[in-house]
Amino acid sequence: MTKELKIVVLAKQVPDTRNVGKDAMKEDGTVNRAALPAIFNPEDLNALEQALRLKDRYAGSTITILTMGPARAAEIIREGLFRGADNGYLLTDRAFAGADTLATSYALAMAIRKIGDYDIIIGGRQAIDGDTAQVGPQVAEKLGLTQITYAEEIVKIEDDRITVKRHIPGGIETVEGPLPIVITVNGSAAACRPRNAKLVQKYKYAKTQTEKAENQLKYADLYKNRDYLNLAEWNVNDVKGDIAQCGLSGSPTKVKAIQNIVFQAKESKTITSADKEIEDLIVELLNNHTIG
Amino acid sequence: MANFYTDNKDMQFHLTHPLMKKIVELKEKNFEDKDKFDYAPVDFDDTMDSYHKTLEIIGEICGEIIAANAESVDHEGPKHENSRVIYAEGTQQNHEALQKAGVYGISLPREYGGLNFAMVPYVMAAELVSRADAGFANIWGLQDCAETIHEFASKEIQDEYLPRIPKGDTCSMDLTEPDAGSDLQSVQLKATFDETQNRWFLNGVKRFITNGDAHIKLVLARSEEGTKDGRGLSYFVCDNNHDDKILVRRIENKLGIKGSPTCELVFRNVPAKLVGERKLGLIKYVMSLMNGARLGVAAQSIGLSEAAYREALKYANERAQFGKEIINFPAVYELLVTMKARLQAARSLLYETSRFVDIYKAYNLISNERKLTPEEREEHKEYQRLSDIYTPILKLFASEYANQLAYDAIQIHGGSGFMKDYLVERLYRDARILNIYEGTSQLQVVAAIRGVTTGAYLNKIRKYEANLTAPELATMKEQLATLTADYEKAVTLVIEIKNQEYLDFHARRLVEMAGHIIMSYLLLLDAQRNNEYAKIAGVYIKLAAAWNEERFNYIKSLKFEDIENFKSVI
């Protein structure tokens, strides 16, 4: 079968919470985004790799990166292009700011509708800044599509049905679903391939309109002759969004209070290397579900 | 995220050398590719930016994947099954990551799917890979074979083989045989021309072939029946289809670089194509290939030295004895400072040599397309001469220094360094081949001594001297003038005897004296570009002065008439 797949990868730019330094949080308990490098959400990279593998396997397939965020989130689209995506859209508007998962999935779903032609919508299971794992499933619901979550590997696509291995507690489950479909990918899936030198050289000057307007534009001629260097930005109107359902106003989630948690060891226990003591410790940890 | 390029500001400094402007212009020929390939650069800045960004990709793969796999590859090694080589799992992963990153064929023209990068960034990539895993660096580095095909083979062969390299086909150069090691003139593998089929066939045995089960093979073979020397040898390219024509008889069990499969091969009627002209196999093509390979081993040596220095520095900062970190003891910090001085000196020599090779190779390619102007011809010759005398001295120093650095790195680790738990024991084993293969240190001296006797090194030293104008470096420059005067005296002492054996006897000392002075000047010129390098230049010059004095004294004391007596001891 040589199906040419249209794949949309949902990707988010997130603060790198894996490398938290002492300035990571502000005094009011919110994330100090300036102190953390902005990165491609790790599980979204796993999702991109699954998309790229489909593109390797089914010649003629295309990958579109869809990301929502401020102007600098265009970096996510470039990162996608560097690895083999074909194009991308940055969903950016003040009206999208402050969105919870419901408003985010609304905006993404509207953008996907505008993209129109798609077989697979694939993203990471969750983002490392919010850890909700809600956006993928909500997008599926809003678009009325089947969803497969916790995917680890796409096995095959045959007769418009997709077979996916998903990660479940204690094992792997193989499931099948109809196209078009929404898939969220688990971090245990294959790591994303490196950036490709030729694609980096091809796309390194790719910019959105906002970025082009920011500083003195180097190589201005290139943007006239090489259209693929012009990255598309969409605002609320472009995706025919209802402002009431976007951003803060579309977000029923309210943060009531934020507490700063400092982990402290309150009690300690000394055990020797005797077999019996080690065994007791294992039993204790199993019983209180720390392990197992 | 470990990135072996972004964490190495010294390498980045060498990439910004002023000569890069000329190199890029020669390599990109007015940026004529910019309308033909969407990834071709539009100007000099754009080219440099692409070099930088591509090295960033390679640096990340080295830091995150290749270095992480190095230990398991060292333990597991390649397997020998059914006359084939099966790479260790990590080796396969490394290869695939680099292939997907689109960096194989880094120096090949874009029409063959390459990146058309200059030698300097290509050598930097080799240094990065070697720092992560010197054994894997061989598999990466053998894409050098593409250079040879590109330079010397017919268009038909180029079109057939070159596009396969960026797609991940690996290469090997099959030179050595059981009775032809350092002396390649004795190669016996037979090439016979079949008139009816109008093609060559190869039969015989090759030994110690790195990555011997590669897809594309360059083979040195005897095409002229009845001949005994190098003039009867030609160079061939053939496919390894992994069938019963090329068999891997065994994989050597080596001291180090265990991930790099070293094979004994049997050729059974393998169809092959002639590269270039008959009878020029050894005297022209292999010599050229060898120069490239020596540059590769130098990069491998410096990558490994970088790893050794970093491991030693880290350990010396962490390990406490007698109530303080051991880096505080003079005996330890002296080792570290000397390691760093050797590393930086050898690296400066590596990139100086790479620049020479870059310019002369670029002219080689241009001269295939059009006639060079008289000035260009002059420059072409000049840089070729410089490449020829710098490559052996570079290979000599880089590989010997790598061994010294690996040795010192273990010493700093003490007993722990002797254990498999620490990286340095692998570095020590991996380093040991560097001053042996692609020509032993002793053979590098044979090639380099011409630079001494013809005065070529001295000429270049004089040019460095003239270019060094920074007033704050004047004192160190004066020191070097003294070293140079002593070197000239030492050369005269040996040469005036007019005896080949006496010259051979002291050759290494003379070559090393020249090398120490050249590297001192290179470090001073680095300091002239960026004053941060003045300190390390100062350290190296003091060492060089001591090393040269020792050699000079020995030359003065061991006279021609002493040789017979000296030999009689054994």
The C-alpha atoms of residue B24 and residue B115 are separated, in whole angstroms, by: 13
The C-alpha atoms of residue B146 and residue B122 are separated, in whole angstroms, by: 13
| Optimal mutation site among B28, B34, B46, B140, interface A, most CBs of chain A within 10 A | B46
| Optimal mutation site among A82, A86, A200, interface B, most CBs of chain B within 10 A | A200
**B563 close contact with A: CB closer than 8 A:** no
Supply the pTM of this predicted model.
Answer: 0.93
The C-alpha atoms of residue B71 and residue B182 are separated, in whole angstroms, by: 31
How sure is the predictor about A29, in pLDDT bands with cuts at 50, 70 and 90? low
User: Per-residue pLDDT tens for A228-259?
Assistant: 999 999 999 999 999 999 998 899 988 787 77
Answer whether residue A1 shows pLDDT above 60: no
Enumerate the β-bridge partners of residue B204: B267
Which residue in A has a C-alpha nearest to residue B59's C-alpha? A194
Task: Identify all chain B residues contacting A196, using CB atoms and an 8 Å cutoff.
Answer: 57, 100-102
Q: How far is B237 from chain A (nearest CA, A)?
A: 28
**A25 close contact with B: CB closer than 8 A:** no
Q: How far is A113 from chain B (nearest CA, A)?
A: 31
Neighbouring CB atoms inside 10 A of B270's CB total 25
**B6 close contact with A: CB closer than 8 A:** no
User: Per-residue pLDDT tens for A75-86?
Assistant: 999 999 999 999
Residue B507 domain-assigned? yes
State whether A198 and B50 contact (CB < 8 Å). Answer: no
Task: Identify all chain B residues contacting A222, using CB atoms and an 8 Å cutoff.
Answer: 42
Contact B534, B527 (CB under 8 A): yes
The C-alpha atoms of residue B521 and residue B37 are separated, in whole angstroms, by: 41
Domain, as residue range, for B500: 446-563
State whether B101 and A196 contact (CB < 8 Å). Answer: yes
Can you give the CATH number for the domain in which B503 is found? 1.20.120.470
Enumerate the β-bridge partners of residue B263: B209, B251
**B100 close contact with A: CB closer than 8 A:** yes
State whether A204 and B50 contact (CB < 8 Å). Answer: yes
CA atoms within 13 A on the CB side of B496: 9
Predicted local distance difference test score (pLDDT) of residue A28: 63
Which residue in B has a C-alpha nearest to residue A218's C-alpha? B46
User: Which residue of B39, B40, B60 is in closest CB contact with A194?
Assistant: B60
User: Which residue of A195, A202, A228 is in closest CB contact with B101?
Assistant: A195
- Nearest residue to B316 (alpha-carbon basis) of B429, B427, B414, B430: B414
Answer whether residue A21 shows pLDDT above 90: no
Please give the positions of B annotated as active site: 438
Predicted local distance difference test score (pLDDT) of residue A91: 97
State whether B100 and A193 contact (CB < 8 Å). Answer: yes
| Optimal mutation site among A195, A202, A227, A228, interface B, most CBs of chain B within 10 A | A195
Q: How far is B445 from chain A (nearest CA, A)?
A: 39
**A200 close contact with B: CB closer than 8 A:** yes
Q: Which of B280, B304, B323 is the last residue of a domain?
A: B280
The C-alpha atoms of residue A96 and residue A238 are separated, in whole angstroms, by: 13
**Structure-derived torsion over alpha carbons of residues A206, A209, A213, A214, reported in degrees to the nearest 10:** -70
The C-alpha atoms of residue B174 and residue B184 are separated, in whole angstroms, by: 11
Helices (H) and strands (E) in chain B, counts: 19, 11
| Optimal mutation site among B35, B39, B93, B96, interface A, most CBs of chain A within 10 A | B39
Residue B500 domain-assigned? yes
The C-alpha atoms of residue A165 and residue A149 are separated, in whole angstroms, by: 10
**A263 close contact with B: CB closer than 8 A:** no
Interface contacts A/B by beta carbons within 8 Å: 51
- Nearest residue to B9 (alpha-carbon basis) of B359, B506, B344: B344
| Optimal mutation site among A39, A196, A201, A203, interface B, most CBs of chain B within 10 A | A201
The C-alpha atoms of residue A220 and residue A226 are separated, in whole angstroms, by: 10
Q: Which two tokens stand for residue B422?
A: 């620490």
State whether B57 and A199 contact (CB < 8 Å). Answer: no
Residue B42 domain-assigned? no
3-state SS string over B179-217?
CECCCHHHCCCEEEEECCCCEEEEEEEEEEEECCCCCEE
Residue B106 domain-assigned? no
The C-alpha atoms of residue B450 and residue B63 are separated, in whole angstroms, by: 40
3-state SS string over B324-393?
EEHHHCHHHHHHHHHHHHHHHHHHHHHHHHHHHHHHHHHHHHHHHHCCCCHHHHHHHHHHHHHHHHHHHH
**B39 close contact with A: CB closer than 8 A:** yes
Q: Which two tokens stand for residue B184?
A: 């390649």
**A104 phi and psi, to 5 degrees?**
-65, -45
Neighbouring CB atoms inside 10 A of A124's CB total 28
- Answer with the residue of higher pLDDT: B570 or A262: B570
Contact A185, A123 (CB under 8 A): yes
Task: Identify all chain A residues contacting B39, using CB atoms and an 8 Å cutoff.
Answer: 197-199, 201-202
**A38 close contact with B: CB closer than 8 A:** no
- Please give the CATH architecture assigned to the domain spanning A6-250: 3-Layer(aba) Sandwich (3.40)
State whether B97 and A194 contact (CB < 8 Å). Answer: yes
Can you give the CATH number for the domain in which B258 is found? 2.40.110.10
- In which element (H, E) is residue B153 found? none
Predicted local distance difference test score (pLDDT) of residue A291: 79
Task: Identify all chain B residues contacting A198, using CB atoms and an 8 Å cutoff.
Answer: 39, 102, 115
User: Which residue of B41, B49, B100 is in closest CB contact with A194?
Assistant: B100
Predicted local distance difference test score (pLDDT) of residue A40: 96
Contact A69, A12 (CB under 8 A): yes
The C-alpha atoms of residue B272 and residue B278 are separated, in whole angstroms, by: 13
Kindly calculate the radius of gyration of chain A based on its CA atoms and give it in whole angstroms: 22
Contact B440, B182 (CB under 8 A): yes
Kindly calculate the radius of gyration of chain B based on its CA atoms and give it in whole angstroms: 24
Q: How far is B5 from chain A (nearest CA, A)?
A: 15
**Structure-derived torsion over alpha carbons of residues B26, B31, B34, B36, reported in degrees to the nearest 10:** -60
State whether A199 and B49 contact (CB < 8 Å). Answer: no
**B61 close contact with A: CB closer than 8 A:** yes
Q: B171 in helix, strand or coil? A: strand
- Answer with the residue of higher pLDDT: A288 or B185: B185
Task: Identify all chain A residues contacting B100, using CB atoms and an 8 Å cutoff.
Answer: 193-194, 196
Q: Which of B261, B280, B299 is the last residue of a domain?
A: B280
User: Per-residue pLDDT tens for A92-118?
Assistant: 999 998 889 999 999 999 999 999 999
Residues, chain A, total?
292
Residue B495 domain-assigned? yes
Residue B559 domain-assigned? yes
Q: Is the dihedral of CA A62, A66, A71, A75 positive or negative?
A: negative
- Answer with the residue of higher pLDDT: B302 or A266: B302
Q: Which of B264, B280, B296 is the last residue of a domain?
A: B280
Q: How far is A59 from chain B (nearest CA, A)?
A: 16
**A222 close contact with B: CB closer than 8 A:** yes
Task: Identify all chain A residues contacting B102, using CB atoms and an 8 Å cutoff.
Answer: 196-199
The C-alpha atoms of residue B285 and residue A192 are separated, in whole angstroms, by: 41
- Answer with the residue of higher pLDDT: A3 or B389: B389
How high is the ipTM of this complex? 0.92
Task: Identify all chain A residues contacting B103, using CB atoms and an 8 Å cutoff.
Answer: 197
Give the number of domains in chain B: 2
Q: What is the pLDDT along chain B (570 residues), one digit of tens a residue?
A: 799 999 999 999 999 999 999 999 999 999 999 999 999 999 999 999 999 999 999 999 999 999 999 999 999 999 999 999 999 999 999 999 999 999 999 999 999 999 999 999 999 999 999 999 999 999 999 998 998 999 999 999 999 999 999 999 999 999 999 999 889 999 999 999 999 999 999 999 999 999 999 999 999 999 999 999 999 999 999 999 988 999 999 999 999 999 999 999 999 999 999 999 999 999 899 888 888 999 999 999 999 999 999 999 999 999 999 999 999 999 999 999 999 999 999 999 999 999 999 999 999 989 988 999 999 999 999 999 999 999 999 999 999 999 999 999 999 999 999 999 999 999 999 999 999 999 999 999 999 999 999 999 999 999 999 999 999 999 999 999 999 999 999 999 999 999 999 999 999 999 999 999 999 999 999 999 999 999 999 999 999 999 999 999 999 999 999 999 999 999
Residue B419 domain-assigned? no
Q: How far is A199 from chain B (nearest CA, A)?
A: 7
State whether A199 and B53 contact (CB < 8 Å). Answer: no
**B97 close contact with A: CB closer than 8 A:** yes
User: Per-residue pLDDT tens for A132-156?
Assistant: 999 999 999 999 999 999 999 999 9
**What DSSP string describes B71-95?**
HHHHHH--EEETTEEE--HHHHHHH
**B53 close contact with A: CB closer than 8 A:** yes
Residues of A238-271 as b/e, b for ≥16 C-beta within 10 angstroms? Answer: bbebeeebbbeebbeeeeeeeeeeeeeeeeeeee
**What DSSP string describes chain A?**
-----EEEEE--EEE-GGG--TTSB-TTSSB-GGGS-EEE-HHHHHHHHHHHHHHHHSTT-EEEEEEESSGGGHHHHHHHHHHT--EEEEE--GGGTT--HHHHHHHHHHHHHHH---SEEEEES--TTT----HHHHHHHHHT-EEEEEEEEEEEEETTEEEEEEEETTEEEEEEEESSEEEEE-TTSPPPPPPPHHHHHHHTT-EEHHHHHHSPPTTHHHHHH-GGGEEEEE-TTTTT--GGGSTGGG----------------------S-HHHHHHHHHHHHHTTS--
Residue B216 domain-assigned? yes
Predicted local distance difference test score (pLDDT) of residue A292: 67
